[in-house]
Structure 1
Amino acid sequence: MTKTTKRSARRAGTGAAVAAEWTKLTGSARDRRAAAAAVGLALAVAAVFCLTLEPTTGVPLADQPAFDVLTASLLGADAAALVLTVLAAAAVGGEYATGMIRTTFTVTPDRGRVLLARAVTVAAAAGAVALVAAVGAALVSLLVLSGAGLPVWDAADPAVWRAVAGAALMAPFHALVATAGALWTRSTAGGVVAALALLVAPTLAGWIPGGSLLLPVLPGEALHSLAGIAGPDGPHPAAAALVLVAWSALVLFAADRAVRRQDV
């Protein structure tokens, strides 16, 4: 077999693995309902945060900058991300619990290829749902402001869509971490804990003397930077992107090593 033929075979094998993982991830009516529920939760949370800005901040809604109302509404996308993270972990944990993982590895013996296919499909599916949730949450803030007769944010402002896109990035990243964690531990709980550990890492760093020095290399601060809400002391967007890529590569590498050692 020539090198060209081998490369074509590998591409075909990877494509088939991605298609199989996509079918498993999106083929269940229950999972589709859960994804829809994540979007619905995002809209509800966005409305709650927008409507309670005055009592929580002490500043009347009329005095709130429209962009601040938008960023408050995007917390709805964060809520959706938590649901999608649990779903990502459950997809892997469920395969281990039922023994379906053995079938997966029998059909595709190259476990690295299985991991790559799962990572691609999880990131794509979570990203798509999160983007819908983030746009929906932004529209909620638009409705709240216009309903109150107040000026709305400028849809032509790049900062608006940067914030929306940044909010949508949280779900695919943490879903990827949850997938890797579930593969390490062979359980849904392990995946959820891994994702939550990175989620709360900035808070924990704040409790440690000198822990603030760790913030620029933590994914939470990187996500805020890419969304344009990290503040003047936040990392540069290019550096933030590298941080997310590095963390993604790290967790996937660790998952790859763990999967190859498993006796399933």
Structure 2
Amino acid sequence: MTTTTTTGGAPAPGATAASAAEWAKLWTLRSTRTAMAAAPVVAAAAAAVFCVTMAATTGVGPADRPAFDVVTTSLLGADAAAVVLLAASAASAGSEYATGMIRGTLAATPRRGRFLLGRAAAVGAATLGLGALSALAAFATGQFVLFSSGLPVAAPGDPQVVRAVAGAALMAPFYSLAATSLAVVARSTTGGVVGALSLLALPTLVSWGPVSWRGVLLACLPGEALHSLAGLTAPGAASPLPPVAAGAVLSAWTVLLLGAAWTALSRRDA
């Protein structure tokens, strides 16, 4: 008697393998790799510009401000780095659609939710690390400006300073995940970048609205949540959100954006 054994197709990669594959792809595109590596440098350069031009742009120089004001000004450099990282993240996702590589990706990882979570994990991990480096670079640059001018510097261990730097570091992963999700929804790099930048600009636009409702809207936006986690008050907001509420708002936006990307992936062909 002979026995015939039928071998099925190769099993779909697990979550860890999917994340590893997406991590590798994230660093494959040269322009994306270069942009991501440049983010801390951009943060330091932008922080230097903001601090050095503070007197000209606001009428009050570093010598006439508390050291913490210089900290928050220098951390605008982390905002600049976040823009670089969101653009790189959108380019990585959008290039798969532009080149048709997405078809091979979904053939290798047919479970589209697993592919999306793998991409989100890779983007989140990379931009969290680079966001932290960028925030530290921006902070250090601001302190160097104070030190080189013979002015008192902020204590690095001050809880207010630590919270501000940590909050600034969270900008990059959130907006990079937003850009990735929106690039998947739009199937293009441009859609991801424009969508994420629009989300970034929303608090400023809302702050111009009537006082009667802008406070409520601001509390629902990710920009206000990020400001609150950093211990700061966004323009137009009455006071920071409690940390738990801010974390909930940020988490809800992340789930909403990834959910939109998953819906687009599951309902459309590659």
User: Displacement, 1:33?
Assistant: 1.9
Q: Deviations over 1:209-246 (max 9, x none)?
A: 32332011100000000001127612111100000000
Q: Which amino acid aligns with 2:24?
A: T
Q: Is 1:252 aligned with 2:255?
A: no
Query: When you count helix as a share of all residues, which structure comes out higher?
Result: 1
Q: Is 1:113 aligned with 2:114?
A: yes
SS, match of residue 153 in structure 1? coil
Q: What is the correspondence of 1:1-264 to structure 2 with a 5 Å cutoff?
A: 13-209=14-210, 210-230=213-233, 233-264=239-270
Q: Which runs of 4+ in 1 moved over 3 A?
A: 27-30
Q: Deviations over 1:24-52 (max 9, x none)?
A: 01244433321222221111110011111
User: Displacement, 1:123?
Assistant: 0.9
Larger radius of gyration: 2
Does the C-alpha gap of structure 1 residues 20 and 230 become closer, same or farther in structure 2, counting only changes over 3 Å?
same
Q: Which amino acid aligns with 1:212?
A: G
The count of residues paired between Structure 1 and Structure 2 equals 255
Conserved in 1, the CA contact under 8 Å of 2:78 and 2:138?
yes
User: Displacement, 1:199?
Assistant: 0.9
Does the C-alpha gap of structure 1 residues 96 and 28 become closer, same or farther in structure 2, counting only changes over 3 Å?
closer
Q: Which amino acid aligns with 2:254?
A: S
Q: Which amino acid aligns with 1:244?
A: L
What is the CA–CA distance in structure 2 between the aligned matches of 1:155 and 1:234, rounded to whole Å?
22
Give the root-mean-square deviation of aligned CA atoms.
Answer: 1.5
User: Displacement, 1:77?
Assistant: 0.6
Of all paired residues, the percent bearing the same amino acid is 55
What is the CA–CA distance in structure 2 between the aligned matches of 1:29 and 1:94, rounded to whole Å?
12
Q: Which amino acid aligns with 2:263?
A: R
Tell me the equivalent position of 2:3. Answer: none
User: Displacement, 1:137?
Assistant: 0.7
Q: Deviations over 1:128-157 (max 9, x none)?
A: 111111101111111111111111001120
User: Displacement, 1:116?
Assistant: 0.4
Specify every segment of 5 or more residues in structure 2 that has no aligned partner in the other structure, as ranges: 1-10
What is the CA–CA distance in structure 1 between the aligned matches of 2:168 and 2:147, rounded to whole Å?
22
Conserved in 1, the CA contact under 8 Å of 2:26 and 2:33?
no
Q: Deviations over 1:74-96 (max 9, x none)?
A: 11110010010011111111000
User: Displacement, 1:109?
Assistant: 0.2
Does the C-alpha gap of structure 1 residues 260 and 204 become closer, same or farther in structure 2, counting only changes over 3 Å?
same
Q: Which amino acid aligns with 1:242?
A: A
TM-score by length of 2: 0.90
